[in-house]
Amino acid sequence: MKPILFVLAILPLILALSGCGEEIQDTRTLGQARVQAAETVFGLEMTSDERDLMMEDLTEQRDSYDALRRNIPDNSVRPALRFDPQLAWARRLYAKSNEMTPPNEMAVWGDPGPVKRPARLESLAFAGIGELGKLIRQRQVSCLELTDLALARLEEFGPTLECVITLTSERARQRARELDQMLDRGEYLGPLHGIPYGAKDLLAVKGAPTTWGATPYRDQVIDETATVVRKLDQAGAVLVAKLTLGALAWGDVWFGGTTRNPWNLEEGSSGSSAGSSAAVSAGLVPFAIGTETWGSIVSPCTRCGVTGLRPTFGRVSRAGAMALSWSMDKIGPITRSAGDCAMVFDAIRGSDGRDPTSVDTPFPYRHDQTLDGLRIGYLKSAFDEDYPGRELDHEAMRALRYQGVDLVPIEFPLAEMGIDPSNLAFILSAEAGAAFQDLTLSGRDDELVRQVRYAWPNVFRTAQFIPAVEYIQANRQRTRLMEMMIDVFRKVDVYITPSLSGDSLLITNLTGHPQVVVPNGFIDEDSPHSISFVGRLYDEATLLAVARTYQAHTSWHTKTPPGF
């Protein structure tokens, strides 16, 4: 993450604290020199008379800050201001007449074909959700057996990968027995009935620790269960573990170590959905729940060679999840295939009174949807850049063209708009700095493992110097990006982009658009690579159908790391 560029001047801060030579006994007294030094930090220039006129108001504002800091709300308390990706989208109508889908249209799943219980149950470690679900439905495998298999693999390989924070063994086995009894009575909850999964440990689960991957919170127990976990309980999924995340949702370093990439144990899994991606990649769970604010699903899925969906902002309730950025946080599934992502997403989507940003919109996914009639674009300038895995991405485009797709080149007119998206990245820093201001003010940010420039302690501290005016101005430019994306999706239904190169990842996290990341080869023998598809707001059905079709004609998502 790029810290705030205009807040790097150390000398002005020193001068401001020292009074710049003024003989001031009271260290809290403002003066011309201190205000002028602060101006330098913020890139401002006032006259002496203007400073004098401001002095009383600046003092009153500081007193207000002091009062507010004595009563910092809990992380779960949201700001009154609310981001809505539809604000710009609703101003214009897309040209397509079928933009809005009838609300009664439901997802349609395919049949995985004949299934048979293997001689060794461990052979199912890398099976898809559809296959596992059919084995359970036909009573060839019990829910408890699958749960025990996942728990055994988590116990065996979790320490090697450093991907598990808490095993929820008792909760899981009790639920699995209940689900088997339901089947005995002829009750079936759907495609996730009896399927084990892991949750990123920023999702609260009543009775279990919720550590956020960070030392200051390693003993934290939150007396609630996140909406996502409750919905998965209702869908019949079985929570077997709370998985690692980089401390406070950055990277793969947590208070217990560094989560490993199953393909190469010498490197980290990337993050911050580190444990979720590693556990799915190594076949410890059929699926996991991750979160993304800026790359936290896309990046570890790329590193670990798995498939992930970052849904439209607001499609999945964040109630019970750690807040990092109230206007950018998203929750989504990490699986082995796009089809499996669709099944999990269907279970966790929807509005929730505990999260006012969550919405109900239809998900008319069809397992047999073709690419006929779809306009699929590609971000030409991004693919033209020189970056690792470029040839793999071009091969993926050739595979789509081989399927009859006429790829349409598109561009973001950022230069014409005068916008560099990287200059808006401090929106995330400002919100994260507010979410964890208590750590900064108390000095407990020193307890976090990573104490380098590109880590939360430094970003949180730097964020305290972001002017509210600049935060608002950045969000106004964000609206312009949202309007730009309306024009993009007038030309195409879905577009392809390099997963981690170019501007798309940051832009779409700012605008709230959904993205699916899928494996598309290996840069080296132990280094998976990915390509990404981006879709319209709330149109995960089409987006996942395109990704599923790509995977139906390739086999990268079926590869498994050796040793697991």
**Catalytic residue numbers, as ranges:** 200, 272, 296
Cβ count within 10 A of residue 353: 9
In whole angstroms, what is the distance from residue 321 CA to residue 229 CA? 10
Q: What is the b/e burial string over 246-284, where b = at least 16 CB atoms within 10 angstroms of the residue's CB? A: bbbbbbbbbbbebbbbbbbeeebbbbbbbbbbbbbbbbb
Q: Coil, strand or helix: which one is 113?
A: coil
Q: What is each CA distance from 328 to 228, 259, 310, 325, 494, in whole angstroms?
A: 17, 24, 11, 5, 21
Query: In sequence order, what are the residues at sequence separation of 6 or more whose Cβ sits closer than 8 angstroms to the Cβ of residue 198?
Result: 154, 164, 239, 240, 241, 242, 243, 275, 276, 279, 284, 285, 288, 289
423 CB burial (10 A radius; 0-12, 13-18, 19+): middle
Amino acid type, 15: L
In whole angstroms, what is the distance from residue 116 CA to residue 135 CA? 7
In whole angstroms, what is the distance from residue 96 CA to residue 394 CA? 29
In whole angstroms, what is the distance from residue 339 CA to residue 109 CA? 9
Alpha carbon 279 to chain centroid distance? Answer: 16
